Amino acid sequence: MTTDLYQAPAKLSRKNLKQGATSVDVPRNTINPIDRTGQKSTESRGLFNSKIGFVLAAVGSAVGLGNVWRFPYFAATYGGGTFLFAYLLIALLFGTCLLVAEITIGRMTGAGPLQAFRKLDKRFAWVGMLALITPAIIFPFYSVIGGWVARYSFVFLTGGAAGAAETGAFAAFTSQTWSPILWLGIFIVMCAALLAQGIRKGVERINLVAMPVFIVMMMGLAIYTLTLPGAGEGVRHFLLPNFNELSLNTFIAATRQSFFSLSLAGGVMVAYGSYLKKDASIEKAAVQIAAFDTSASLIAGFLVIPAVVVVAGIDGLGQGAGLLFATLPAVFYAMPGGAVVGAIFFTLMLAAAVTSGISLMEVVVTTVTDRTRLSRPQAAWTVAVGSFLAALPVTLGMGMWSHVRLGGRDILGMMNFLTDTVFMPLVGLGTVLLIGWGIGPKRIIEAVEASGRKFRLAGLFTVLIKWVGPLLLSGLVVTSFLMAFGVITL
Ligand code: PFF
């Protein structure tokens, strides 16, 4: 992994911090231009203090529940190999270009999303607003699922594998009232506690150890699963495309998933980019992030989809969001040493979820510390309480409030739909319009090349950002609205 991406910021004195220091009070490094908006500078945000820094933090944000929980169920729901084909195309080409775009916007402006878009072009200030609202909506429902992972990790660690493996155990758990609320609270407290300490202490240490171990472990588990009788059918479903089934819906699902998985259109990569030093190669970083994240999803697909087919047959793939939790415990329980393996798996998955959760929270917390006199810990705990309250209806919607339907969806489904098909595509659309037609792709290309390296994908970048992006994303936004108003069903 690259080690040249980060320049350690000068330390901020305690006194400055206490007094709510602004960029004028602290020593500046060369990362950020002077911020005339009154936003605190890089140093006072306290991010990334190790050599591995940026790529690791960005990968930590990207790899999470989106890869292990969401990717397999999206693949299972939207046509297996057909979805995979569309996903690879969109994530690796368009996703990588958008990563470059967002990171560069952050680095050019030295600001989080709220200021960054406004600084580049006032007409696009709304994109920054939406990019801030998006993680504020995702984090609460992400925490509900993070809570499920925390609970499974605890159950396996305390010898409860047999109970977790029983049919119906997952639904029985999520439909309870207090237990999921407790685990949701635990997940949010974990994220807030690490954020309050400052990113450098908490997240980097977790990322450095947990990410590689998690990937290796998933690979081992996938190999084990592939040896089980019946796994072949699952692999075929996951890999083999049926081009007759390739539809607009496949591409919409693939775009939604790639945004979520690569942490795009939620302000995270803009915010992280604002901490990146000038001579770092953004292109190289973006390719590494996309490659790592896509590999994690592929491995999760090879693990979860065959496992589901082994345990529940091919029809088991229709379970939607519960796919991972309803069937994987049974696989662990059936395998030799499975209780231990399950405990390690869910604990590492929890670490991956926490590092992503932190990045979602970070965008909101940074904005709060930039714009108010609250200290970082105060801001982190304030955002934590707000998110917990916002998450309550989501978890209750799985049980006590399961009769509540919003546009035909439960509350979790609705929040997912809102961010996935309305907010993120709108932020993505705003971003490609800003670059393609507002400031022009040239400005971004020059900013990428400010590192002294040529931007090799510049041609592809221009075409994708200027033409493909606006078409794809406006298509997505229009279809979502038509779907929301019941004009079409996909
Ligand atoms: N990329 C994260 C995952 O795959 O779990 C989730 C996520 C993080 C989505 C940050 C959006 C975001 F802005």
Around ligand 1, the residues with Cβ closer than 6 Å are: 61-62, 64-67, 135, 138, 260-261, 263, 266, 268, 356, 359-360
Residue-wise pLDDT for 374-402, tens only, equals: 999 999 999 999 999 999 999 999 999 99
Residue 9: inside a domain: no
Residue 250: inside a domain: yes
Q: How many helices (H) and strands (E) does the chain have?
A: 25, 0
Residue-wise pLDDT for 244-255, tens only, equals: 989 888 999 999
- The Å distance, Cα 155 to ligand 1 centre, comes to 25
Residue 33: inside a domain: no
- The Å distance, Cα 16 to ligand 1 centre, comes to 32
Residue 260: inside a domain: yes
67: which DSSP letter? I
For residue 153, give its domain range: 60-484
pTM given for the model = 0.89
Residue 36: inside a domain: no
Residue 54 burial by CB count (10 A; 0-12/13-18/19+): exposed, middle or buried?
buried
CATH number at residue 450: 1.10.4160
Residue 14: inside a domain: no
- The Å distance, Cα 194 to ligand 1 centre, comes to 17
Residue 124: how many CB atoms within 10 A of its CB? 19
Residue 121: inside a domain: yes
Atom of ligand 1 nearest to the CA of 267: 13
Answer yes or no: is pLDDT of 88 > 70: yes
- Mean pLDDT (whole number) for 130-141: 97
What pLDDT is recorded for position 259? 97
SS3 content of the chain, % helix, strand, coil (to 5): 75, 0, 25
What pLDDT is recorded for position 97? 97
Rg of the chain over all Cα atoms, to the nearest angstrom: 22
- Mean pLDDT (whole number) for 172-196: 95
- The Å distance, Cα 266 to ligand 1 centre, comes to 8
What one-letter code names the amino acid at 140?
Answer: P
Tally the domains of the chain: 1
Residue 18: inside a domain: no
Confidence of residue 321 (pLDDT cuts 50, 70, 90): confident
Give the separation between CA 296 and CA 301, rounded to whole angstroms.
Answer: 9
- % of the chain surpassing 90 pLDDT: 64
Q: Which two tokens stand for residue 305?
A: 């989809």
Asked whether 65 and 145 are in contact (CB, 8 A), the reply is: yes
Q: Which of 261, 263, 324 best tests ligand 1's pocket when mutated (most atoms within 8 Å of CB)?
A: 263
